[in-house]
Amino acid sequence: MTPTGMTRAIIFDLDDTLVKTSDLYAEAENRFLDFMEELGFQRAEVVDLFEQRETLNTRKYGVSPKRYPLSMEETYVLIGKKHNRSIDPAHRKQVREFAKWVFRQVPELMEGAIEVLEVLRKKYRLILLTRGARTIQKYKLVKTGLIEYFHSIYIVNSKTEAEYEMVLRREGLDPSETCIVGDSIRSDINPGSKLGLRCIYVPYSLQGYVWSQDKEQPVSDSHISIRTLQELTQLL
């Protein structure tokens, strides 16, 4: 399948497609892990427990900004109790601050993001569908200047077939005339493939950091993979 000719609209993902969000989370977690090591805990043990808390809290709280700080705090408390260590209120506050720091940052734009959007918006209706807390996602869009490039913006709690169907319905778009651009097989490529949209996968890998909840195999091989956003202007 080649996404040319009939394409009228492009649905973009935000995090790790247009901005480098994982970089911020990776830095926060490294600060947290360094701190826990300084307190005498084994890094590998902290990593395992933190991933467990993140998985559980993601199911419970979804994209709520309270989830991430809570996961770090719970990790500190649980591992401290496991090793019969006293729980220091100052340390408890500090680990929460490592997580909260992420939400105060403006993520770096992907290379060529603005230039690509500038070209594409002259030819296509650009739509943003992003998963996350509304205030945080809106903050990123305003601070990076991306907000001005989109005809419509949708901020949702999850990105499944239902959310894409909602966007198609509200925008009056036919799946065969719509393209998805994103970095996640689970929340971008697979929902789009199931609905018959043209999907372009732009993987973003950050060494040592993986969103475990986003791991999933493609449901089909109909999508196209590219290495950089800049390739979009030649492909579309």
CA distance 66 to 211: 18
Verify that 16 and 41 share a domain, yes or no.
no
Assess whether 118 and 99 both reside in one domain. Answer: no
Q: What string of DSSP letters covers 121-147?
A: TTTSEEEEEEES-HHHHHHHHHHHTGG
| 141 and 213 both lie in a single domain | yes
Task: Please tell me whether residues 40 and 93 are part of one structural domain.
Answer: yes
pLDDT on residue 149: 98
Specify whether 196 is located in the same domain as 207: yes
What residues are paired with 127 via a beta bridge?
11, 152
Mean pLDDT of 131-160: 97
Q: What is the pLDDT of residue 211?
A: 53
pLDDT at 6: 81
Assigned domain for 2 exists: no
Tell me what pLDDT residue 1 has.
Answer: 40
Where is the domain boundary, 56, 71, 103? Answer: 103
Burial of 197 (0-12, 13-18, 19+ CB in 10 A): buried
Least confident piece of the model among 20-24, 105-109, 213-217: 213-217
Distances (CA, A) of 158 to 59, 74, 184: 11, 24, 12
Angstrom distances, CA of residue 185 to CA of 14, 219, 224: 14, 9, 12
Q: What is the CATH number of the domain that holds 194?
A: 3.40.50.1000
- Mean pLDDT (whole number) for 148-168: 97
Q: What is the mean pLDDT of the chain?
A: 93
Task: For residues 209-231, give the mean pLDDT.
Answer: 79
pLDDT of res. 71:
98
Considering the domain architecture, whether residues 228 and 140 belong to the same structural domain is answered as yes
The answer to whether 177 and 7 are in contact (CB under 8 A) is: yes
Domain that holds residue 146: 9-20+107-235
The helix (H) or strand (E) run that includes residue 9 is strand 9-12
pTM comes to 0.90
Helix H or strand E segment including 191: helix 190-195
Q: Angle formed by the axes of helices 43-61 and 21-38, to 10°?
A: 130
| Residue 136: predicted pLDDT | 96
| pLDDT mean over 15-32 | 96
What pLDDT band is residue 219 in, cutting at 50, 70 and 90? confident
**Which domain-ending residue is among 72, 103, 134?**
103
Please report, in angstroms and rounded to a whole number, the separation of the first and last CA atoms in the chain: 12
Asked if the model's pLDDT at residue 66 lies above 90, the reply is: yes
Whether residue 181 is found in the same domain as residue 68 = no
Query: Which pLDDT band, with edges at 50, 70 and 90, does 212 fall under?
Result: low
Question: What total number of domains does the chain contain?
Answer: 2
Share of the chain above pLDDT 90, in %: 88
